[in-house]
Amino acid sequence: MGYVQKRLASTAAKLAVSPSHVYDLSKKAVASSSRDFFDAQTWAALQPPPESAVTAFAHRIGLAEVLGSADVVRQACTHPSFLPLHAKHHPNQPQPTTNANLATLGNSLLGLFATEHVNATYPHLPTRVMKAAVSAYVGGTTCAAVAKEMGAAPLLRWHRMPNTLTRPAVLYPDALSSVPRALTGLVYKNRSLLSARKFVQKFFLSREIDLRNMIKFRDPRMTLLYTVQKFGREPPKSRLLRETGRFSNSPIFVVGIYSGADKLGEGFGSSLKMAEYRAAEDSLHRLYLTRQPPHLVQLPTSAFPSGRGNIYEASGPEGSYVAGTIADSEVLFGSSGRTGAVMPGRHTIEGDEEGDIEDIL
């Protein structure tokens, strides 16, 4: 086996190309003239995924009966950026069907399912944090990671495209993220909305997202004061709970924040201000990260029929849905600017010395 055949076989093995295609093209590669350069990677990218790999992928993700033929799976794995490459090398052949429309439909469904899931699970979550949580659940980075876990990377057909004035650049993660979106659209198209929600729940919403690190406060003490006033509770007060090594080089203070007799949060630090800051932050986290029990979570999409077909044609039993109480909006203190300055018309509360821990925040 010559150098061209070895390079062709190794490239085809990496890109999951059928060995039959390698044998057919090896003769053309050897017979090509010296002035014509044969690019093995370009040729391998133009070949359709083998039937065995497509079938194995459909069974691996549990959608063999839903997707049906292998052509549908190939369509879900074909990015629109592949069309210029195919038209350049095969101008006389019909263009393959891409996942452009399916990915757009699936992206909308992913956003719908993730938004209702986050909103129903965390009713007090701030709006900006909810948007960040939705992006963490079904964003482009997550879709690309899910596609790799599914094993869709060897089946992807795409072509890198540079950035232009009217179109952003198409990179590998962008093309790979379109595969789970297209699969979501196919499940909705071939089954129903509830089936698509089950698919998204299994591959996306079942993951654990650390929402605590997404909530940041410039001044948690002032934010907590406005939050307590909004709920009509008593002003928060800081109390020193425990301390050790006050006169050493490594003291530890534990501070709790109370609203009347109710303890809102607790924090520790090497100084009273640090412990008070962390206690106020912990109090806000306890409020905004209040999670609804799983058996009490109500999703609006449960009201759609469970029969096959789209939402306009499906028929069958409908699930029960009782809308929950709308939670109070979050406090927007300090959220309109990035300079850290207090906005006009808002009053600040100045405390006393650092050692006076009994003062209002």
Of residues 17 and 130, more confidence is placed in 130
Residue 346 pLDDT more than 70? no
Cα–Cα distance for residue pair 53/154, rounded to 1 Å: 9
DSSP-based three-state secondary structure for 260: coil
Residue 70 pLDDT more than 70? yes
The mean pLDDT value for 156-175 works out to 90
- CATH code for residues 219-288: 3.30.160.20
pLDDT-derived band at 302, boundaries 50, 70, 90: confident
SS3 of 105-118: the string is HHHHHHHHHHHHHH
pLDDT tens digit sequence for 11-65: 656 555 555 555 455 444 444 434 456 677 787 788 888 899 999 999 999 998 8
DSSP-based three-state secondary structure for 216: coil
Cα–Cα distance for residue pair 228/23, rounded to 1 Å: 74
Query: At which residue do the structure tokens 């053309």 appear?
Result: 28
State the DSSP string of 123-190: TT--HHHHHHHHHHHHSHHHHHHHHHHHT-GGG-B---B---SSS--B-HHHHHHHHHHHHHHHHHHH
The reported pTM is: 0.78
Residue 297 pLDDT more than 90? no
Which among 187, 194, 185 is positioned nearest to 307, based on CA atoms?
Answer: 194
pLDDT-derived band at 236, boundaries 50, 70, 90: very high
**Predicted pLDDT at 202:** 94
Mean pLDDT, the chain, integer = 82
For the ranges 183-197, 200-214, 264-278, 329-343, the lowest mean pLDDT is seen at 329-343
Report the first-to-last Cα separation within the chain, whole angstroms: 79
Q: Which two tokens stand for residue 338?
A: 């990035």
For the ranges 34-38, 267-271, 287-291, 324-328, the lowest mean pLDDT is seen at 34-38
Which among 156, 179, 173 is positioned nearest to 103, based on CA atoms?
Answer: 179
Which among 287, 131, 127, 292 is positioned nearest to 220, based on CA atoms?
Answer: 287
Residue 68 pLDDT more than 50? yes
**Predicted pLDDT at 60:** 93
Cα–Cα distance for residue pair 40/119, rounded to 1 Å: 49
The mean pLDDT value for 343-353 works out to 40
**Predicted pLDDT at 82:** 93
**Predicted pLDDT at 334:** 46
**Predicted pLDDT at 141:** 94
**Predicted pLDDT at 100:** 94
Report the range out of 3-17, 155-169, 178-192, 208-222 with the highest average pLDDT.
Answer: 178-192
The mean pLDDT value for 328-339 works out to 53
pLDDT tens digit sequence for 2-13: 555 566 566 656
Share of the chain above pLDDT 90, in %: 47
Cα–Cα distance for residue pair 161/100, rounded to 1 Å: 16
Which DSSP state fits 262?
E
Of residues 213 and 146, more confidence is placed in 146
DSSP-based three-state secondary structure for 224: helix
**Predicted pLDDT at 337:** 42
pLDDT tens digit sequence for 237-259: 999 999 999 989 999 999 999 99
Share of the chain above pLDDT 70, in %: 79
State the DSSP string of 309-347: S-TTT--S-B----PPPPPPPPP-TT-S-SS-PPPTT--
Cα–Cα distance for residue pair 200/267, rounded to 1 Å: 38
